[in-house]
Amino acid sequence: MDTIGFEAHDHKGCVRDAIAAVEAHCTRHKLQFTPVRRRVLEILLSEHRAMGAYEILDTLRTEGLGSQPPVAYRALDFLVTNGFVHKIERLNAFIACTHPGQDHTPAFLICRQCDAVAEAHAEPSKGMLGRAAADTGFTIEQAVVEAMGLCPQCRESVHPCA
Amino acid sequence: MDTIGFEAHDHKGCVRDAIAAVEAHCTRHKLQFTPVRRRVLEILLSEHRAMGAYEILDTLRTEGLGSQPPVAYRALDFLVTNGFVHKIERLNAFIACTHPGQDHTPAFLICRQCDAVAEAHAEPSKGMLGRAAADTGFTIEQAVVEAMGLCPQCRESVHPCA
DNA sequence: CATCAGATGTTATGATATCACATATGGAGA
DNA sequence: TCTCCATATGTGATATCATAACATCTGATG
Ligand SMILES: [Zn+2]
Ligand SMILES: [Zn+2]
Ligand SMILES: [Zn+2]
Ligand SMILES: [Zn+2]
């Protein structure tokens, strides 16, 4: 199973495991997993959905962990840079990674109805894109792949228009 | 050749042809290709790069075609909706389509050094992404595919760090 | 002419993101 | 220990991107 996000799962365990994985990764790479950074990751993990920076900041504020935008953006920048969180460009929002610590290139399935987001695995330099890049001499370093559409649940509930 | 953008070409002709194609498409589909909409498309075509809405608005303003953000955003919305212009999510910017009028799903190669953008062709429901979607029952309606990296020219000029 | 849909003009505001500068903290080396 | 320095944080201000709301205009239809 590679893409979770549209199905029920052991949420408590998933949060715990993710935090543990990030902790281990930070120790190994001498990265500072500070309280704000940890808390931002926890918020994203516990909600399990894409959240805007200001929405995260609201929570931090009530907990006395920072009240100004740079606090949230700096923590998010750290988490994104190190691959623990991904930015969903289409939503200007952030979501916790489902494979923290592992080197991977994510792709996302975003439901336009309920905003649920599932992380899948993308092969960057394979397929059309890789061919086009190779043809033109372009060097791909990173890729944003975000599919919009309807998740299984919302697909059910949409009236058939017929 | 499917991806232009990193190479020299007949620019005058490319602008003329694109405008003509859009004009024809609008006539056929009873869409109003108004002065503001036409001018915004011309600006994007002539610059041949990704431009922010406010940058476009600056030009409109000097020409008396509108001075407030909604003017630019409404024109861009029309052009994007009808596939004559694409939004580059990663840059919060817009770029003229290189296949206007044709039904297609674009992918982009974006140079992080010089901000040049090339449009390529993506096959949405093929490959990893399509598989992941099919596995989970997700229905893909639209996709954002944007690769970041170095274009051929910038790749040359970057010092080797060695 | 009356009506209406679509396009535009304009003011204000909302949402997202960064700059700039002060302060704190903790480890490496003199 | 003390100094230095890199990294992280606190905070106010500001930049950048985008839309809401409402008035007005214009052309097509009947
Ligand atoms: Zn991930
Ligand atoms: Zn859904
Ligand atoms: Zn296109
Ligand atoms: Zn370049």
Position B89 in a domain: yes
Ligand index nearest the alpha carbon of residue A111: 2
Q: Which nucleotide is nearest to A66 (CA to C1')?
A: D10
pLDDT score at A36: 97
Q: What is the pLDDT of residues A121-144, one digit of tens each?
A: 887 667 778 888 999 999 999 999
Provide, rounded to the nearest whole percent, the portion of chain B with pLDDT above 90. 70
Distance A38 CA to C30 C1' (A): 36
A91/A114 same-domain check: no
Q: What is the pLDDT of residues B9-24, one digit of tens each?
A: 888 898 999 999 999 9
Q: Which of the listed residues A81, A98, A115 is the one where a domain comes to its end?
A: A98
Burial A128-157 (b: 16+ CB within 10 A, else e): bbbebbeebebbbeebbbbbbbbbeebeee
Position A1 in a domain: no
B53/B127 same-domain check: no
Position B1 in a domain: no
Instruction: Tell me the residue range of the domain where A142 lies.
Output: 105-162
A88/A110 same-domain check: no
Q: Is the CB of B31 under 7 A from strand C?
A: yes
Distance A58 CA to D1 C1' (A): 43
B60/B130 same-domain check: no
In which band, very low, low, confident or very high, does the pLDDT at B2 lie, cut at 50, 70 and 90? very low
pLDDT score at A158: 67
- CATH code of A87's domain: 1.10.10.10
A15/A55 same-domain check: yes
B87/B112 same-domain check: no
pLDDT score at B3: 56
Q: Which H or E run includes B149?
A: strand B139-150
Q: What is the pLDDT of residues B17-45, one digit of tens each?
A: 999 999 999 999 999 999 999 999 999 99
B76/B120 same-domain check: no
A93/A123 same-domain check: no
Position B77 in a domain: yes
Position A127 in a domain: yes
| Total domain count, chain B | 2
Do B35 and B75 form a contact (C-beta atoms < 8 A)? no
Contact of A107 with chain B, judged by CB distance below 8 Å, is answered with yes
Q: Please tell me the distance from the alpha carbon of residue B23 to that of residue B12, in angstroms, as a whole number.
A: 17
pLDDT score at B101: 80
pLDDT score at B158: 66
Looking at the predicted structure, is the pLDDT value of residue B159 above 60?
no
A10/A33 same-domain check: yes
Q: Which of the listed residues A52, A79, A98 is the one where a domain comes to its end?
A: A98
Provide, rounded to the nearest whole percent, the portion of chain B with pLDDT above 70. 93
Is 0.85 surpassed by the pTM of this model? Answer: yes
A77/A110 same-domain check: no
Position B11 in a domain: yes
Q: Please tell me the distance from the alpha carbon of residue B85 to that of residue B72, in angstroms, as a whole number.
A: 13
| Beta-carbon separation of A122 and B128 below 8 A | yes
Q: What is the pLDDT of residues B66-88, one digit of tens each?
A: 899 999 999 999 999 999 999 99
Contact of B80 with chain A, judged by CB distance below 8 Å, is answered with no
β strands within chain A, DSSP E: 85-88, 93-96, 106-111, 117-121, 139-150
What Rg value do the Cα atoms of chain B yield, rounded? 17
- CATH code of A162's domain: 3.30.1490.190
B84/B114 same-domain check: no
Position A125 in a domain: yes
Position B32 in a domain: yes
Q: Is the CB of A32 under 7 A from strand D?
A: yes
A78/A122 same-domain check: no
Q: Which of the listed residues B60, B75, B98 is the one where a domain comes to its end?
A: B98
pLDDT score at A55: 98
For strands A106-111 and A139-150, give the pairing. Answer: parallel
Low-confidence ranges of chain A (pLDDT < 50): 1-2, 160-162
For chain B, the first-to-last Cα distance in angstroms comes to 35
From residue A106, how far is each of A99, A112, A145, B77 by CA, in Å? 9, 19, 7, 28
Looking at the predicted structure, is the pLDDT value of residue B132 above 70?
yes
Q: Please tell me the distance from the alpha carbon of residue B50 to that of residue B65, in angstroms, as a whole number.
A: 21
